[in-house]
Amino acid sequence: MAIAGYIGFYIMISPLLVLILAGYWKLFEKAGRPGWEALIPVYHLYIMLKLSQRPLWLLLLLLIPGINFIISIGILIDFIKSFGKVGIGQITMSVLLPFIFIPKWGFDKSTRYVGPSASDDFREKYRDLSKSPVREWTEAILFAVIAATVIRGLFLEAFTIPSSSMESSLMVGDFLFVSKINYGARLPMTPIAFPFAHHTMPLTGTKAYWDGIKLPYYRLPGFSEVKKGDAVVFNYPMDADSPFYRPVDKQENYIKRCQGTPGDTIKLEYGQVYVNNQPMPVPRNGEMEYRIRTDGSVKGFDPGTRYNLHMEDLQQFTRVDFTANMTAQSVEKLKAYPFAKTVKPDIKLRGVYDPEVFPHDPHFRWNEDNLGPIIIPRKGWTVKLDSLTMPFYQRAIEVYENNKVQVKGNEILINGTKADSYTFKMDYYWMMGDNRHNSEDSRFWGFVPEDHIVGKAVFVWMSWDANAPSWCKIRWDKVFRRID
């Protein structure tokens, strides 16, 4: 299944991007611009605005989440109109099937640049098809909203990495695309919502959806199932609780790496993940906390060293003792520094109880580096219910599978009926961040139900490093990079 997933990714993504960029290159040349301008993100939109004579201040709207997608489609529509593609069918195909029609128009000899679509001369030439500017933009925005909703809901959705829980595999400032088709698109469960706002309206902070209508969970067929090692976007299950009480598809989006799939037995021993008693590969660019002891010849780490070694959450305890989150590659570099005496993983000992760790029960004296074994529920699996299993599975039975659970002494009632076992209706997953000591994940709140799965993170299309010491903030080595 892993091979099929990668084949699907390469077939559906990479060649399509090449086709679109090649088409833009040729169209730019037909309009008298260098073709290479089509390859530069954002700048190519600036050129498209100039070619259609739309106001350049529209670029500022690209900074507003949700609105930026609509504006991008509006710029595309004006751009292709400047090549005489003014029919509703041509406009529709350019938005929904750009990988076919953009290169087609770029390479065919009959398509040529006929002038700025926003100019008076253009409107006069196509006056039979032209509308007033207000009506034109109203229809363009409506069309863009519909098209964007379909694309985001069924095919691809753009996400931004806001936190460091997946570093250094995925960095803060990475802009990535999440495929809905790999696992199958999940149809809307809360259908009445403001476009692109997810759960909260910007500025007002009010709900961006109405939960008066709720649809049952249904997922379209996909290329593959969720696999161990996949970088998965899902809805944060704890948002079902106070103070938010959000519906499943309006819960916050999280991205973590799948470590366990339905039916697996998972455990951690001194930071190493084991699934069915087999060690899981450590993420190549993953981070964890290290304890650093120096010889005392330096008072601390200068900003340049911290940036070059990507030392996060640096703390100093004594004149010679520090801790920091780092990758294994950075640790090897640090060991070569003359003042570094020892650099060791800061792993918690077995038996040190952390009440924040799942299942939050003192019978299981676990911590984030040592826990388990835990059986991950799968659809159709029947578990015996008692005082040892209820801490693990009560939330899944009650919250995720919508049952009323009561525990009265040694008696367990499900929907008012005494029960000593339960058969699960859904599959569940175990998700963990690659930054093992700076990630809120399944170690703290348990399982992720299948109806919470949004999609698979497939590639980074832009990476912005706000902390870079140079004027160039783009991480060029991550641009258009497939996510491992």
- Catalytic residue positions, numbered: 165, 256
Write the single-letter amino acid at 33: R
Distance in angstroms (rounded) separating the CA atoms of residues 423 and 68? 45
Structure tokens at 450: 């299948």
Taking the C-alpha atoms of residue 170 and residue 327, their distance in angstroms, rounded to an integer, is: 12
d(CA 69, CA 62): 7
> Strand, helix or coil at 86?
coil
Amino acid letter, residue 211: D
Q: Kindly write down the DSSP assignment for every residue of 205-250, as one continuous string.
A: --BSB-TTS-PPP-B---S----TT-EEEEE-GGGGSTTT---GGG
- Residue 316 tokens read as 């100093």
Peptide bond into 262 cis (omega under 30): no
Judge contact between 181 and 155, C-beta under 8 A: yes
Residue among 267, 234, 274 nearest 252 (CA): 234
